[in-house]
Amino acid sequence: MPYHHHRVAVIIPAFNEALSIELVVTELLSLRSPKNSDLPLIDDLIVVNNGSTDGTAEIAKGAGANVFSEFRRGYGYACLRGIEQLERAGCQAPNVVVFVDGDHSVDAKQLVILLQAIGEGNDLVVGSRERHLQEAQSVGPHQQFGNDLASSLIGLLWNQPITDLGPFRAIRYAALRQLNMQDQGFGWTAEMQIKAIQAGLSYKEVPVSSLRRIGVSKISGTVGGTIGAAIGIFSMVFKLYWSDAKFFASLKSILE
């Protein structure tokens, strides 16, 4: 447990990321604890191969990752499979779980920033891709618009400042288990943030850079992917808001 006595596990959901996955895994595994350069920052690194057809799994394994398969396509399915594997691996449970994409769209070194915020007592820390830190063409206009709209909507409905639904995030393992994540697709990130707010967990966003991803985006790279992601995110927002509304309505009727 090299970082503030936290055992850190990283989960990378990956679908056809053969061009980037080796670089992502290598950079993450090369990180060392700020307090002791001889100790790795990450204790467990899992790549969940989400039905790739381009050799992603073999490349990730060769780079040093523990690789597991989830053939049901969906971002949430892959993340859930990674969590399940953490629980079944027979190894020591982590204190912190980090989620990062396999497309090299973030700077691995900034993982330290997320872990520092966890060490300060936060339960969920999300890397917010600030515009002035974005590499050219790293976030498309329609992707930025959809992300801003969804973030603003969540902030409005739950009275909590939200600036990004980015996938680069760290969460305490106990908090992750408490949230009982369910989404199987692209509503995963929104579900985590909303449920954290609903549960009263300590939530923080930290600024991170955004790199131009390697390869074609499964979301912004296609019209179908963009529409599918938008439907998944906004349906999750309204689903959880509706559950909140029903809860408070039931509570009000009991008190009356």
Predicted confidence at residue 162, as pLDDT, reads 94
Q: Which fold has domain 8-255?
A: Spore Coat Polysaccharide Biosynthesis Protein SpsA; Chain A (3.90.550)
Distance CA 167, CA 163 (A): 13
Question: Any idea of the CA torsion for 65, 170, 99, 129, to the nearest 10 degrees?
Answer: -120
User: Which residue in the block uniquely carries the two structure tokens 């990130």?
Assistant: 189
Q: How many CB atoms lie within 10 A of CB 45?
A: 23
Predicted confidence at residue 254, as pLDDT, reads 46
Tens-digit pLDDT string for the chain (256 aa): 456 678 999 999 999 999 999 999 999 999 998 877 888 999 999 999 999 999 999 999 999 999 999 999 999 999 999 999 987 755 678 999 999 999 999 999 999 999 999 999 999 999 998 765 555 555 666 677 788 899 999 999 999 999 999 999 999 999 999 999 999 998 999 999 999 999 999 999 999 988 887 866 655 445 455 677 778 888 899 899 888 765 555 444 545 4
Distance CA 7, CA 42 (A): 7
Residues 6+ apart with CB under 8 A from 251: none
Predicted confidence at residue 37, as pLDDT, reads 80
Q: How far is CA 222 from the centre of its chain?
A: 21
Torsion 228-229-230-234 (CA) sign:
positive
**Which residues are registered as beta bridge partners of 191?**
none
Q: Domain-by-domain residue ranges, the chain? A: 8-255
148: left (phi over 0), alpha (psi -120 to 50) or beta: alpha
**Which residues are registered as beta bridge partners of 68?**
48
Predicted confidence at residue 178, as pLDDT, reads 95
Query: Which of 195, 190, 191, 161 has its CA nearest to residue 175?
Result: 195
Predicted confidence at residue 24, as pLDDT, reads 97
Give, in order, the Cα–Cα distances in Å from 234 to each of 92, 94, 189, 212: 36, 31, 11, 25
